[in-house]
Amino acid sequence: MRKDIVRIAVLATAAAAIGWTDAALRPLTLALPGASGAGPPEAGMTPGGPWVTLDQARTLHLDPTVAFVDASRAEDWRRERIPGSWGLPPEEFAGGGFPALLDQLSRSSPVVVYCQSDQCEAAELVALRMVEFGFSDVRVFRGGLAAWKAAGFPTQTAG
Amino acid sequence: MTRHETVDAGPNAANPATLRPARTSRGTALTLVRILLGGLFVWSGVSKLLDPLFFAFALKAFHLGLSDAAVSRLAFIIPWLEALAGAVLALGFWTRASAVMVLALLLGFSTGIISLLVRGMDVRCPCFGATELVCEGPLGVCHLIRNAILIALAIFVATRPRR
Q: Which of A7, A26, A119 sits opposite B94 (nearest CB)?
A: A7
User: Is B81 a residue whose pLDDT tops 90?
Assistant: yes
Query: Is residue B42 within 8 Å of residue B101, measured between CB atoms?
Result: no
Looking at residue B89, its pLDDT comes to 95
pLDDT bin (cut points 50, 70, 90) of residue B10 is very low
Looking at residue B23, its pLDDT comes to 63
- Which chain A residues are within 8 Å of B75, Cβ to Cβ? 23, 28
- Which chain A residues are within 8 Å of B61, Cβ to Cβ? 120-121
Mean pLDDT of A59-87: 93
Residue A90 phi/psi, 5-degree rounding, is -60, -30
Contact partners, residue B25, CB within 8 Å, separation at least 6: none
Looking at residue A43, its pLDDT comes to 41
User: Is A39 a residue whose pLDDT tops 80?
Assistant: no
User: Is B6 a residue whose pLDDT tops 50?
Assistant: no
Please state, in angstroms and as integers, the Cα–Cα distance from residue B123 to each residue in A109, A116, B73, B104, B117, following that order: 29, 11, 20, 21, 10
Looking at residue B28, its pLDDT comes to 86
B162 SS3 class: coil
Q: Which of A8, A88, A130 to mutate to test the interface with B (most CBs of B within 10 A)?
A: A8
**Distance of alpha carbon B79 from alpha carbon A116, whole angstroms:** 28
B53 close to A (CB below 8 A): yes
pLDDT digits (tens, 9 = 90+) for B113-140: 898 888 877 777 777 766 667 777 778 8
| Residues of A engaging B, defined by a Cβ cutoff of 8 Å | 4-5, 7-8, 11-12, 14-16, 18-20, 22-23, 26-28, 30-31, 38, 73, 90-91, 93-96, 116-117, 119-122, 124-125, 128-129
Separation in Å, CA of A37 to nearest CA in chain B: 9
User: Is B161 a residue whose pLDDT tops 70?
Assistant: no
Separation in Å, CA of A63 to nearest CA in chain B: 30
Mean pLDDT of B73-102: 95
Looking at residue B117, its pLDDT comes to 85
Q: Give the nearest chain B residue to A128 (CA atoms).
A: B53
| Gap between the terminal Cα atoms of chain A | 61
Edge-first strand order for the sheet with A86-87 is A51-52, A138-141, A111-114, A67-70, A86-87
User: Is A7 a residue whose pLDDT tops 90?
Assistant: yes
Looking at residue B102, its pLDDT comes to 96
pLDDT bin (cut points 50, 70, 90) of residue A45 is very low
**pTM of model > 0.95:** no
Looking at residue B62, its pLDDT comes to 81
Mean pLDDT of B51-75: 88
- Vertex B147, ends B127 and B78: CA angle to 5°? 40
User: Is A94 a residue whose pLDDT tops 80?
Assistant: no
Q: Which amino acid is at A149?
A: K
Query: Is residue B8 within 8 Å of residue B17, measured between CB atoms?
Result: no
Q: Which of B94, B97, B129 sits opposite A94 (nearest CB)?
A: B129
B136 close to A (CB below 8 A): no
Give bridge partners of residue A141 from the DSSP assignment: A52
Looking at residue B90, its pLDDT comes to 95
> Could you give the residue ranges of the DSSP H alpha helices within chain A?
2-25, 54-61, 74-79, 122-132, 144-150
User: Is B142 a residue whose pLDDT tops 50?
Assistant: yes
Give bridge partners of residue B132 from the DSSP assignment: none
Write down the mean pLDDT value for chain B.
82
Looking at residue B20, its pLDDT comes to 58
Q: Which of B52, B81, B137 sits opposite A12 (nearest CB)?
A: B81
pLDDT digits (tens, 9 = 90+) for A97-145: 788 888 888 888 899 999 998 878 889 999 999 998 889 889 999 899 9
Looking at residue A38, its pLDDT comes to 43
- DSSP letter for each residue of B92-126: TSSHHHHHHHHHHHHHHHHHHHHHHHHHT---B--
pLDDT digits (tens, 9 = 90+) for B28-48: 888 999 999 999 999 999 999
**Distance of alpha carbon B50 from alpha carbon B72, whole angstroms:** 14
Q: Which of A11, A26, A27 sits opposite B97 (nearest CB)?
A: A11
User: Is B143 a residue whose pLDDT tops 60?
Assistant: yes
* CB contact (8 A) between residue B122 and residue A117: yes
